[in-house]
Amino acid sequence: MSRFSLDGRKALVTGANTGIGQAIAVALATAGASVTCAGRRSCDETLAAISAAGGKGDGLLLDFADPMAAKDTFAGAGYDILVNNAGIIRRDDATDFSEADWDAVMDVNAKALFFTCQAFAKELLAQGKPGKIVNIASLLSFQGGIRVPSYTASKHAVAGLTKLLANEWAAKGINVNAIAPGYISTNNTEALRNDPARNQAILERIPAGRWGDPEDIADTAVYLAAPASNYVHGAVLNVDGGWLAR
């Protein structure tokens, strides 16, 4: 069997209804995994794409505005891959940023991610089974950005938690790693791509000379979920066209 095969595996992908999460869910299913597509809205479009690719999947409504939303999801369910992709962002000047916007972002992006990882790992450890966790970090796990204080703090937290959990669980058979996407062509970046000045400035900074595709992130997630990455622990892989190297 290929070291990149996910045959016989079962994955949960959060925020799988669109964009990067959707691409990851389809890629995991194409590689052979049975994929549960979780989101606060219907993932029917993603499930249709999985079916069209000949894969297997199902949907699950989870709203991580409640950070404990997934606490009962894993018991007896047979999952051995978890992709934490769900996330939100709020923008305002640091001098004006509200407590509500701080808490909303931290709850979804950091607190929910940690407690979802916890629930997933508890089940695997209780059964003595190995598993893979892939967290979606950000370029703002390394840089500061502007006007997104809670998002920046939350994505720094994702990088730190990825390393901490890897330290605790690597010897117990659970790989914990993260992907830091660069500028990817999704609905969330459409406004940037439609602004000629911003689009040009971004492209001039990217050594690869192009925006990334969601599939660029998805293929990396397949690698981190597959046996090929069994000795990779606590890594935050930049998939950014060279942005951070510039």
One digit per residue, pLDDT tens: the chain, 246 residues? 799 999 999 999 999 999 999 999 999 999 999 999 999 999 999 999 999 999 999 999 999 999 999 999 999 999 999 999 999 999 999 999 999 999 999 999 999 999 999 999 999 999 999 999 999 999 999 999 999 999 999 999 999 999 999 999 999 999 999 999 999 999 888 888 999 999 999 999 999 999 999 999 999 999 999 999 999 999 999 999 999 999
The enclosing H or E element of 50 equals helix 44-52
Identity of residue 124? L
- For 6, other C-beta atoms within 10 Å of its C-beta total 26
pTM attached to this predicted model: 0.97
Catalytic option among 151, 183, 223, 231: 151
Told to judge if 223 belongs to the known catalytic residues of this protein, a careful annotator would answer no
CA distance 120 to 143: 29
Domain count, the chain: 1
Q: With contact defined as beta carbons under 8 Å apart, do 176 and 133 qualify?
A: yes
**Is position 3 within any domain?**
no
C-alpha span between 79 and 29 (Å, rounded): 14
* pLDDT per position as a tens digit, 48-83: 999 999 999 999 999 999 999 999 999 999 999 999
Q: Is residue 5 included in any domain, yes or no?
A: no
Flag whether 4 is in a domain: no
pLDDT tens column, 163-183: 999 999 999 999 999 999 999
**CATH number, position 90:** 3.40.50.720
Does some domain include residue 168? yes
Domain annotation covers residue 112: yes
What is the distance between the alpha carbons of residues 229 and 166, in angstroms, rounded to a whole number? 13
Q: What is the rounded CA–CA span in Å between residue 106 and residue 88?
A: 9
User: Per the domain annotation, does 109 fall within a domain?
Assistant: yes
Contact 62, 40 (CB under 8 A): yes
Determine the structural domain holding residue 150 and report its residue range.
10-241
Q: Is residue 224 part of a domain?
A: yes
Where are the alpha helices (H) located in 170-238, listed in sequence order? Answer: 190-194, 196-205, 214-225
Residue 169 lies in a domain: yes
